[in-house]
Amino acid sequence: MTKLSVNINKIATLRNARGGNMPNLLKVSTDIENFGAQGITIHPRPDERHIKYNDARDLKSIVKTEYNIEGNPNPKFIDLVLEVKPTQVTLVPDAIDAITSNAGWDTIKHYDFLKEVIDTFKRNGIRTSIFVDPSSKIIENAAKIGTDRIELYTESYTHDYNLATNEEEKHKAIEAFIVAAKTANSVALGINAGHDLSLNNIKYFKDNIPNLLEVSIGHALICESLYFGLENVVNMYLNKLK
């Protein structure tokens, strides 16, 4: 079964809006795990506009499933990950002023930098993943860098799938990701995926991507929970990922 890791950034955004501790990020994380999710993901940014660096530290003793910290590996982020030692670190090349992640790594151009960072995390026993577009060349180079996994950046899939009106258009939306997954399998890279995945498009993606290990879902899941409730939505995702 593909694991569900819930990104709780939006919970932190809601808490920060009033400056207090409602909702309680730590309790929500525990509840999400109790509802059946197999992981918790956070994405701290330098301005701490949602997840704060202290949240990352506090969650270490709370998360009992897989703990994934993602972000751009600047010195402060690297120090945080080495201090917390999560289950997995996902490297994302987001700019400081980016509203959300909007591109994968160029593993050819940034080979030396990524290799140095990946080596540092692996020496400290942290599983590594690189956020990438569905490109075979990029994925093959990610394997040469030495990462354990890649995370497929799925925005183009979700956009095209949500507009699709027939099976041919659905297949066209996912075709590049199937090729990318086969490439990853051929070079022994684990496959994660994330960005704009939702209840509407997750099952088709999971059913067509061979050996999909984990999906990280935050924004859509929290939005859907406003209508259906957090426990219900977590279990709706789990059912679609079976």
Q: Which residues does the annotation mark as catalytic?
A: 43, 70, 195
CA angle 145, 149, 153 (to 5 degrees): 100
CA angle 18, 220, 67 (to 5 degrees): 80
Q: Which segments of 62-218 does DSSP mark as H helices, in order?
A: 75-84, 111-123, 136-145, 155-163, 167-186, 202-208
Residue with structure tokens 């980016």?
Answer: 98
* Per-residue burial over 158-177, b = 16 or more CB atoms within 10 Å of its CB, e = otherwise: bebbeebeeeeebeebbebb
d(CA 241, CA 212): 10
Residue with structure tokens 């309790």?
Answer: 27
Q: Are strands 149-153 and 127-132 parallel, antiparallel or unpaired?
A: parallel
Structure tokens, 43: 């994405």
Cis peptide before 210 (omega within 30 of 0): no
Q: Which helix (H) or strand (E) holds 230?
A: helix 230-241
CA angle 235, 61, 37 (to 5 degrees): 10
Cβ within 8 Å of residue 103, ≥6 positions away: 93, 133, 153
Residue with structure tokens 């809006």?
Answer: 17
